[in-house]
Amino acid sequence: MAGIFNALFGGKYPSTEKYEASINQLNSEYNRFVDYESSSAYKRYQELDHLVHSGDFIKQVDKLKNEKFKDTKEFHAYKDYQSLKKAKDLKRYFKILNSGVIDRYEEITESPEFLEFTNLSQLITSPEFIEARKEKDFKKSDYFDKWKHYRRLRKDRNIRFHEKIRKSSDFENYNLLKDSDRLKNYLEQDKYFNSESFQNFKKELEDAHRFKKSEEHGLLSEYEELKKTPEFIWHKKTSAKNPFTEVNKWQLTFKDDFDGTNLDKNKWITGYYWGKALLNDVYVLSNERQFFKDENIELRDSIARLVTKNEKTKGKVWDAERGFMPADFDYTSALISTGQSFRQLYGKFEAKVKINPAKPLNHAFWMVSEKLAPQIDIFRFSNKETGFNAGCHTLSDDQTAEYLSKHVNGVAFSKDYYIYSLEWTKDKLTWFINGVQVHEQTQKVPNDPMYIVFSSHLLEQAEKIQLPASMEIDWIKCFQKK
């Protein structure tokens, strides 16, 4: 990774400004990437992408583009119907039915005259009438009167019409068809093929612009338009590069940009945790020559400054043998800690910090749990050396204090802000400056949740020290792996 940054920015460590800008740009693009994937446009694209590549949709599009009316089963049934419609017997059936002849015929059949004629017809063909007609006085009988009436009725225009129709071949054809399956099938087909649904079906399949008018064409057009949007094109190119592997694995758990006018007391306490927790007061250890004061914490221009001053004050000292004791101090300084608000086991911890050295003053960014050890120094600028120590205070098997550390230098850290980072896993501690790895430890890795501390100390009596001096914190961020 260091080689990459050297190629990008030059020098042992990349420029903080450029490095932070690259990180901010990456985070900005990641947020843009995530926001787009949460957008209604992208969700709609995913819906359409799933739909238009489904087998059913592809088959339907192919059908809309290529299927013709002549390719359907309805076409063949329609051809059969057209042939049936031209059949002579059906044409004769509907001709006589539609001419009104059948209606007149049935009206005559129901008339009293025709009923009387029918009864007389039966009479004159009966054996009784035939025998009566042979008698000499036939003309004087009732049979003769009925016979004359029959002859008059037979000459009636309506009865003659009825008899003519009854004996016609067209009427015979009508009677053969009227209750037949052939006619029933034809009428069903005629009803279907003249229905609005069939006509619309036929019209649609014969429409050369059928596909362009379809819902499927509209969905495909919407899909293609979504793929042409600048945000989709950017998202697709970005996805191919997969630049967010590192960003995506971390989840922010703690952050302070120090944008307020005063320190956020919901996040920070201003003394050692046990003093605040037990005494609601501040103390220092017996080897410290300074005392911590809230007035030495300044927030200005979104920067938290921990200032060390040459000034006299009174305070408490913790001595392992004698306990808390009052003491006089010649120096004041500052400490901020998340001991009461935030602790975390494993993750990434980083801060953008600038130190103003004043030997033998110590500036430290460190982490600790309930006891003094183990304790992780993300950085501890030594009182006698240039650069800083990155390491871990631990206890040996016989409870002897050990400090596994590395001295890091290579740049004048006081001339600029640098981003100091620690990645802590179950098996390893790894330190970075502006993304460049500077130290790694795989032995005696702590496994207790720890809180964060920034502090400035004087651990020896100074004959000459140039004060005031400060540690400036631009921001602090903590992450856990997702």
Q: What is the pLDDT of residue 454?
A: 98
Across 241-398, where does the E strand assignment appear?
250-256, 283-285, 290-292, 297-300, 303-319, 323-333, 335-337, 347-355, 361-368, 375-381, 388-395
Q: What is the pLDDT of residue 100?
A: 94
Q: What is the pLDDT of residue 275?
A: 87
Domains in the chain (CATH in brackets) are: 2-66+212-248 (no CATH), 69-205 (no CATH), 254-481 (2.60.120.200)
Q: What is the pLDDT of residue 398?
A: 76
**Rounded mean pLDDT for each run of 10 residues along the chain, 482 residues in total:** 41 88 93 95 97 97 93 93 93 94 94 93 91 88 91 92 93 94 94 94 92 96 97 96 90 97 96 85 92 96 96 92 91 96 97 90 94 93 82 86 91 93 97 96 96 93 83 98 92
Return d(Cα 333, Cα 469) in angstroms, integer: 9
What is the pTM (predicted TM-score) of this model?
Answer: 0.71
Tell me whether strands 361-368 and 451-458 are parallel, antiparallel or unpaired.
Answer: antiparallel
Q: What is the pLDDT of residue 383?
A: 65
Q: What is the pLDDT of residue 4?
A: 42
Across 80-230, where does the E strand assignment appear?
none
- Token couple for 423: 């990645």
**Residue 76 DSSP code:** H
Per-position DSSP letters for 225-265, written without gaps between them: HHHHSHHHHHHHHHHHH-TTHHHHTEEEEEEE---SSS--T
Q: How buried is residue 376: exposed, middle or buried, by Cβ count under 10 Å (0-12/13-18/19+)?
A: buried
Residue type, 104: R
Return d(Cα 290, Cα 315) in angstroms, integer: 9
Other CB atoms within 10 A of residue 135 CB = 12
**Residue 457 DSSP code:** E
